[in-house]
Amino acid sequence: MAAFIGKYKLVSSDKFEDYMKATGVNLVVRKMANQATPVQDITLNGDEFNIKTSTTFKTTEIKFKLGEEFEEHTADGRTVKTIITQDGNKLIQSQKGDGDKVKDSVLTREFNGDDMKMVLTVDDIVCTRCYKKIE
């Protein structure tokens, strides 16, 4: 689990606008978010993870234990039931919406050395965001 710990800065992004649109994010927020360069700070205290995502206009934070469901308030304003599991060098974040207005999505963080590849999936949209470890 130590391989996950650190600060990661976004270096590239593909289809993030499409992902946000599919999850129902409004145009103004999509434009701002698409221009942001977030930093994800991943820490572990005992068996509780903390992922703090910071941009110039918003900071979000989730605290969780692997395999335990929790209510997540996403940066784009959705409320979902989330479970995060580990599969080797991956943290898999499964978000369940209410089925009507809030769609299900999966965010997979894959760690390889100083690189974190984040794949966000909703419907048939697959977005890839690559991060580089800065600390």
Q: What is the 8-class DSSP label of residue 22? A: H
Percentages helix, strand, coil for the chain, rounded to the nearest 5? 15, 55, 30
* Backbone Cα Rg of the chain: 14
Two tokens, residue 81: 């039931």
CA distances from 27 to 13, 22, 49, 80 (A): 18, 11, 32, 21
Give the per-residue pLDDT at 127. Answer: 98
CA distances from 73 to 22, 76, 79 (A): 17, 8, 5
Give the per-residue pLDDT at 98. Answer: 80
**Mean pLDDT (whole number) for 24-32:** 88
Give the per-residue pLDDT at 34. Answer: 87
For residue 84, give the amino acid letter: I
Query: What is the share, in percent, of the chain residues with pLDDT greater than 70?
Result: 98
Give the per-residue pLDDT at 1. Answer: 62
